[in-house]
C-alpha cells in the first residue's frame, strides 16, 4: 500500500478495517484492535461501531514489532480477559457471519487450542488462513517460547500445537487486500 496504513484505507466507502469490525462485532463479546501507529484512527473506527466496547491495544514495549502478526497475537493473548481470542487481519473484508461459531464448535469438538479456516480454490488447492484464527489463551506460553526460539511464521507456530483446520466453502471470504488494485475491486 505504499507505506499507507492498510486498515485505514478507504474500501467502498469505509476503512478496510471497518469491514472486519462489522463482520466480527456480532460474533464476539468485545472487539479490540491491535495497532502500532494511527492509534487515534483505529479508536475512531471502534467508536463509530455502535456496540463496540473495545480498545486499541498497541504492542507492549518488550515486543519486537518486526514479528508481524505474531506480535499482534502475543499482544492479544497477554491482554485477553476471556479463554478464547479471535484474531483476523485488517485486510480481510469478507469474513463469514458464522466464522467464530464454526471455529469454536470444531475447536471444542476436537480439543484443539487453535482453529484456523481452510478453503479450497477453483483448482482444488487447500489454503490455510493462518492470520484468521480462534486461539485459546493457554497458548500464550507456547507462543512466547516459539518467539524466543526465533519462530516468525504464524502457520509454523500454529502447527506446533493442538490445532484444527475448519473448512469453509467460500475462499473469497478470506481474501486479503494487499495492493491498491485489489483494494478498489469488489468486496
Q: What is the CATH classification number for the domain harbouring 68?
A: 3.90.550.10
- pLDDT at position 1, please? 42
Pairing of strands 163-167, 114-120: parallel
For residue 88, what are the CA distances in angstroms to 73, 145, 149, 175? Answer: 10, 22, 24, 12
Pairing of strands 133-136, 84-87: antiparallel
Residue 1: inside a domain: no
Q: Into how many domains does the chain fold? A: 1
Q: Which stretch of 6-15, 139-148, 175-184 has the lowest confidence by average pLDDT?
A: 175-184
Residue 14: inside a domain: yes
Residue 163: inside a domain: yes
Q: Which residues contact 15 (CB under 8 A, 6 or more apart)?
A: 7, 8, 9, 41, 45
- pLDDT band at 164; cut points 50, 70, 90: very high
Residue 62: inside a domain: yes
Range of the domain at 116: 7-183
Distance CA 146, CA 144 (A): 6
Q: What are phi and psi of 127, to 5 degrees?
A: -135, 125
**Looking at the predicted structure, is the pLDDT value of residue 2 above 70?**
no
Distance CA 22, CA 163 (A): 26
Residue 2: inside a domain: no
- pLDDT at position 7, please? 78
Please, are residues 177 and 93 in contact by the beta-carbon 8 Å criterion? yes
**Looking at the predicted structure, is the pLDDT value of residue 177 above 80?**
no
Q: What is the pLDDT of residues 80-130, one digit of tens each?
A: 999 999 999 999 999 999 999 999 999 999 999 999 999 998 899 999 999
Q: What is the pLDDT of residues 5-53, one digit of tens each?
A: 777 877 777 888 999 999 999 999 899 999 998 999 999 999 888 665 7
Amino acid at each position: 500500500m505504499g507505506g499507507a496504513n492498510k486498515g485505514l484505507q478507504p474500501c467502498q466507502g469505509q476503512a478496510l478495517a471497518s469491514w472486519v469490525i462489522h463482520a466480527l462485532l456480532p460474533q464476539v463479546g468485545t472487539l479490540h484492535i491491535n495497532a502500532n501507529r494511527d492509534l487515534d484512527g483505529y479508536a475512531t473506527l471502534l467508536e463509530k461501531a455502535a456496540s463496540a466496547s473495545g480498545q486499541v491495544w498497541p504492542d507492549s514495549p518488550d515486543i519486537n514489532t518486526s514479528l508481524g502478526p505474531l506480535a499482534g497475537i502475543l499482544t492479544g493473548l497477554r491482554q485477553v480477559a476471556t479463554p478464547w481470542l479471535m484474531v483476523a487481519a485488517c485486510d480481510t473484508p469478507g469474513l463469514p457471519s458464522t466464522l467464530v461459531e464454526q471455529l469454536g464448535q470444531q475447536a471444542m469438538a476436537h480439543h484443539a487450542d487453535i482453529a484456523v479456516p481452510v478453503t479450497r480454490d477453483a483448482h482444488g488447492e487447500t489454503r490455510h488462513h493462518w492470520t484468521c484464527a480462534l486461539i485459546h489463551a493457554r497458548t500464550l506460553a507456547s507462543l512466547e517460547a516459539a518467539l524466543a526460539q526465533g519462530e516468525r511464521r504464524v502457520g509454523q507456530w500454529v502447527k506446533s500445537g493442538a490445532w484444527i483446520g475448519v473448512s469453509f466453502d467460500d475462499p473469497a471470504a478470506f481474501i486479503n487486500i494487499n495492493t491498491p488494485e485489489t483494494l478498489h475491486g469488489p468486496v
